[in-house]
Copies of this chain bind each other. A is one copy, B any other.
Amino acid sequence: MKLPRRIAAEFLATAFLLCAVVGSGIMGERLAGGNTALALLANTLATGAALVALILTFGPISGAHMNPAVTLSAAILGDLSWREVPAYISAQIVGAFAGVGAAHTMFGLPFLFASQHERSGMAQVFSEFVATFGLLAVIWGVVRTRPTAVAFAVAAYITAAYWFTASTSFANPAVTLARSLSDTFAGIRPADTPWFIIAQFAGAISATLLFRWFQSKGSE
């Protein structure tokens, strides 16, 4: 498909993803009466379900990356031309902020406002490495052998990772940036984003290289 349509799809898909992540966090926290497990359950359910819907909808148009780490990894493996990477990543970042702003608007909050939610320390950074490593492993493990199952595999992985990583698994640099301007349940302090993003790219590249070996036609 031609690039303008794919860019529009990446923008829209990432906007809806952030809408789902941030909006359901707000709704969950408002209704949960102080029980954080219940708020996170709602947040998890909405995020996982949104991923199923968005990957099925936009996958056939743009691949539905919604994630600069995925786009970079696709370029490394030759699934995307390096020349298209900047357009993809720009659309994802702009879409992510638009989605956060839309969620805030729906819930009567300012369009964007900096988060004060601290997420720092080695345990958090290691969590993001693990989370993104796993995400890319799932994508490359499934996309070559059962492309029709990718939406379900990715959604299931993120559903689990919200609970098994200490950082609730951002696993996505565009998502991380956009959530830094949301002082809500899903937010992250702007000052904490650089280490998250470094860990995410490190995890993504590690998994990419591992699956290149798994799927190579090597001698062992």
**Residues of A166-188 whose CB lies within 8 A of B:** 166-167
Known contacts A23-B164, A47-B160, A214-B9: A60-B141 contact under CB 8 Å: yes
Please determine whether B141 and A46 come into contact, CB atoms closer than 8 angstroms: no
| Residue picked from A50, A153, A214, most chain B C-beta under 10 Å | A214
Known contacts A123-B105, A166-B108: A159-B46 contact under CB 8 Å: yes
| Residue picked from A21, A37, A151, most chain B C-beta under 10 Å | A37
Least CB distance from A151 to B in Å reads 8
Please determine whether A61 and B214 come into contact, CB atoms closer than 8 angstroms: yes
Is A85 an interface residue, CB under 8 A from the partner? Answer: no
Is A4 an interface residue, CB under 8 A from the partner? Answer: yes
- Among B106, B130, B146, point to the contact of A165 (Cβ < 8 A): B106
Bound-complex Cα distance A44 to B159 (A): 11
Known contacts A45-B159, A53-B156: A28-B38 contact under CB 8 Å: no
Please determine whether A137 and B57 come into contact, CB atoms closer than 8 angstroms: yes
Least CB distance from A211 to B in Å reads 9
Bound-complex Cα distance A23 to B19 (A): 27
With a CB–CB cut-off of 8 A, which chain B residues contact A42?
37, 40-41, 163
With a CB–CB cut-off of 8 A, which chain B residues contact A31?
35-37, 40
Bound-complex Cα distance A102 to B165 (A): 10
Is A191 an interface residue, CB under 8 A from the partner? Answer: no
With a CB–CB cut-off of 8 A, which chain B residues contact A142?
56-57
With a CB–CB cut-off of 8 A, which chain B residues contact A68?
none
Is A27 an interface residue, CB under 8 A from the partner? Answer: yes
Task: List the interface of chain A (C-beta within 8 A of B).
Answer: 2, 4-5, 8-9, 12, 16, 19-24, 27-28, 31-50, 52-53, 56-58, 60-61, 102-103, 105-108, 121, 123, 126-127, 130, 134, 137-138, 141-142, 145-146, 148-149, 151-157, 159-167, 213-214, 220
A sample of 9 inter-chain contacts (CB < 8 A) reads A5-B214, A23-B164, A33-B34, A50-B160, A53-B154, A53-B156, A56-B149, A56-B152, A106-B123
